[in-house]
Amino acid sequence: MHRRQFLTAASAAALAAASPALAQGSEDPRLRTLLDAFWEEQIDESPEAATTLGLDTGARAILRSQVSNYSQAGRTAMFQRAASRLARLRTVDRTRLSPASQIDYDVVAYQYQRGVEGAERFRFGEGASAGFSYAPYSPYVVSQLSGPYQALPDFLDSKHPVQTSADAEAYLTRLRLIGAAIDDSTESLKAEAAKGVLAPDFLLEAAAAQLAKLRDSDALAMGLAKKAAAAGLPGDWEARARQALDQALRPAAERQRLAVEALKPKASHEPGVWRLPDGEAYYAGALAFQTTTALTPEEAHQLGLEQVKALTAQIDPLLRAQGLTSGTVTERLVALNTRPDQVFANTDAGRAEILAYLNGRIADVRTRLPKVFATVPAAPMEIVRVPPAIEDGAANGYAQPATLDGKRPGRFYINLKDTAEWPRFSLPTLAYHEGYPGHQWQGAIAQASTELPMIRRQGGGFAAYGEGWALYSEQLADELGVYDGDPLGKIGLLQSLLFRAVRLVVDTGMHAKRWSREKATDYMVAATGRPRGGMQREIDRYCVWPGQACSYKVGHNAWERLRDEARARQGDRFDLKQFHEVLRRGRLPLVVLEQVVKTTLV
């Protein structure tokens, strides 16, 4: 649902409100039944989601020993099911829904429609391993970030529970199925390469290295043994897991590695998706999908340049106040990165120190949040290291929701491959973004909002809403006084905002303006002052998920603007706690968020 379509629907709702016969919410029960059915169907179709949410029990226990379909046919079927659900949804008369149910209708329709439209036009890319948060705009079935070889081992290690012998047997079954899933994606890799869809050579090189590491690793066998021992289960589970690795996973990983090596000479060094079939339209679609706006690539690029300039100007006097006066802003940030009081040892002890420091900042900010939130969730969270087996290709940080039964808390993962990439002054704002009051806080509030259907409480996607909120949360933490007495931390906040503005420039630069990987990396390092290793991983991530990097600052700008507009409308009546209650409505496209804020805070 594009902006024009949404506003037309909103006008229809206003007309309906004038007619009591149409405004009584007579279609609400049917919509709720339909959305609940969609949720149940989607869980049944995604064993990994069922396990992640703790729903693979009882009648769904069989899902604990299954994985999704990672073949090209599986991708096609995924979008066919979405198209069918969209058609079923459209049988509901929207004008007979209550205002709250109209939001539910609009959000689900928007997500299905954007996905189906993209899949019908662009018949390539990831399916199950990307889900509806990225597909159909994750173009490569195999890269350093995409494909079952990358997603499933981490899933099995970090999310598959082992409490009984049946759980351990299910782990072994899934271990074997990973091999089949890798083989399916290898066939897709070959077929799509023949159509001219292939990741850049440097990403294939990274994927080949990770496949070799997976082929040679015993981590999944040792992981099962550790889980079984913790549960007190008898048996030589490690030996059985090694047998499964030898028989299924290792050969499949090697077959995929060889296929990647064979295709590497045919791959381009150009990082942008403009070189793919209908590539310019593909990027425009990806940008709209990820930002839920009508921003053009050129508009996003210019927005980034303007905000880079403004944020750099804000950082300058703060650096000067710390005695950092020589050189450009970037040169001074680089000097700060390497100052002894900002560097953690690149050892296990140094990594443990980083985790302890992050936990301390989270504990502090949590005590402040009741000042600005009416809803204060019971949201346990743990901060953990990105598994070393995937850290070469993984993002610098990311969040994972808690299970619905509360048995596993939410997690915030930090990539600690090189502690030099995390100077002390940069860490607090990362904690607020990924933890509280960012992703974990927002997700916990939505999850506890029982008035929402489950598909809305747990709905993924809408990166501009979620990432925009997390970036707004960094700013909110500052407003709560977390940087009082910590001027370097305030510099870290502004550098974080600058980093997201730079993303607008380099993402559009590569995918629309045909920048090289080297030019994009050089710009990012020069503009942010962050270590090159981490920025190189960031650039490579943007190659795989076009448009996603733009969602952060676009979303942040929207949250900030909507708050300012609400304050201007309400004057002395404005209550920040009530503004934040919009989180109870779950994730929304930005155009829907705007309507919700304007109609609830009048």
**What are the tens digits of pLDDT across the range 174-232?**
999 999 999 999 999 999 999 999 999 999 999 999 999 999 999 999 999 999 999 99
What was the pLDDT predicted at 2? 46
Q: Whose CA is closest to 395, among 529, 271, 538?
A: 538
Which H/E stretch holds residue 449? none
**Which residues neighbour 85 within 8 Å (Cβ) at sequence distance 6 or greater?**
38, 41, 112
Query: How much is the pTM?
Result: 0.90
Task: Find the helix packing angle between 463-479 and 551-570, rounded to 10°.
Answer: 60
The partner residues of 481 in beta bridges, in order of sequence, read: none
What was the pLDDT predicted at 1? 42
Please name the residue ranges forming H helices in 383-426: none
Establish how many alpha carbons lie within 13 A of residue 392's alpha carbon, considering only the half-sphere containing its beta carbon.
16
Establish how many alpha carbons lie within 13 A of residue 132's alpha carbon, considering only the half-sphere containing its beta carbon.
26
Q: Whose CA is closest to 110, among 288, 287, 283, 279?
A: 288
**Which residues neighbour 202 within 8 Å (Cβ) at sequence distance 6 or greater?**
269, 517, 540
Which H/E stretch holds residue 395? none
The partner residues of 399 in beta bridges, in order of sequence, read: 412
Tokens of 555: 């979303």
> What is the per-residue burial (b if ≥16 Cβ within 10 Å, else e) of 274-297?
bbbeebeebbbbbbbbbbbbebeb
Strands 381-385 and 410-414: parallel
CA-based R_g, the chain, Å:
24
pLDDT digits (tens, 9 = 90+) for 60-97: 999 999 999 999 999 999 999 999 999 999 999 999 99
Using DSSP's 3-state secondary structure scheme, residue 411 falls into: strand
Please name the residue ranges forming H helices in 401-486: 427-434, 439-447, 454-457, 463-479
SS3 string, 219-260, reads HHHHHHHHHHHHHCCCCCHHHHHHHHHHHHHHHHHHHHHHHH
Using DSSP's 3-state secondary structure scheme, residue 368 falls into: helix
Q: How far apart are CA 268 and CA 140, in angstroms?
A: 13
Residues of the chain below pLDDT 70:
1-24, 393, 460
Q: How far apart are CA 288 and CA 278, in angstroms?
A: 16
Q: How far apart are CA 127 and CA 130, in angstroms?
A: 6
Tokens of 538: 């960031």
- Contact between residue 173 and residue 65 where contact means Cβ atoms under 8 Å apart: yes
Q: How far apart are CA 252 and CA 256, in angstroms?
A: 6
Tokens of 420: 């030099």
Q: How far apart are CA 209 and CA 528, in angstroms?
A: 28
- Contact between residue 447 and residue 457 where contact means Cβ atoms under 8 Å apart: yes
Strand-by-strand arrangement of the 381-385 sheet: 381-385, 410-414, 397-400
SS3 string, 486-503, reads CHHHHHHHHHHHHHHHHH
Domain ranges, ordered by start, for the chain: 1-139, 141-269, 285-557
Q: What is the DSSP letter of 568?
A: H
**Which residues neighbour 63 within 8 Å (Cβ) at sequence distance 6 or greater?**
43, 44, 47, 50, 51, 55, 56
CA distances from 330 to 319, 323, 383, 523 (A): 10, 15, 30, 11
CA distances from 410 to 365, 383, 398 (A): 17, 9, 11
CA distances from 496 to 263, 429, 503, 539 (A): 37, 7, 11, 16
Tokens of 105: 């209708």
Question: Which amino acid appears at position 177 of this protein?
Answer: L
What was the pLDDT predicted at 379? 77
What was the pLDDT predicted at 277? 96
The partner residues of 143 in beta bridges, in order of sequence, read: none
Q: How far apart are CA 85 and CA 91, in angstroms?
A: 10
Q: How far apart are CA 142 and CA 544, in angstroms?
A: 10
Which H/E stretch holds residue 178? helix 165-194
What was the pLDDT predicted at 15? 34
Tokens of 372: 């600005």
> Is the bond into 453 cis (omega within 30 degrees of 0)?
no
Q: Whose CA is closest to 252, among 142, 166, 144, 169?
A: 142
What was the pLDDT predicted at 408? 78
What was the pLDDT predicted at 406? 73
Q: How far apart are CA 37 and CA 47, in angstroms?
A: 17
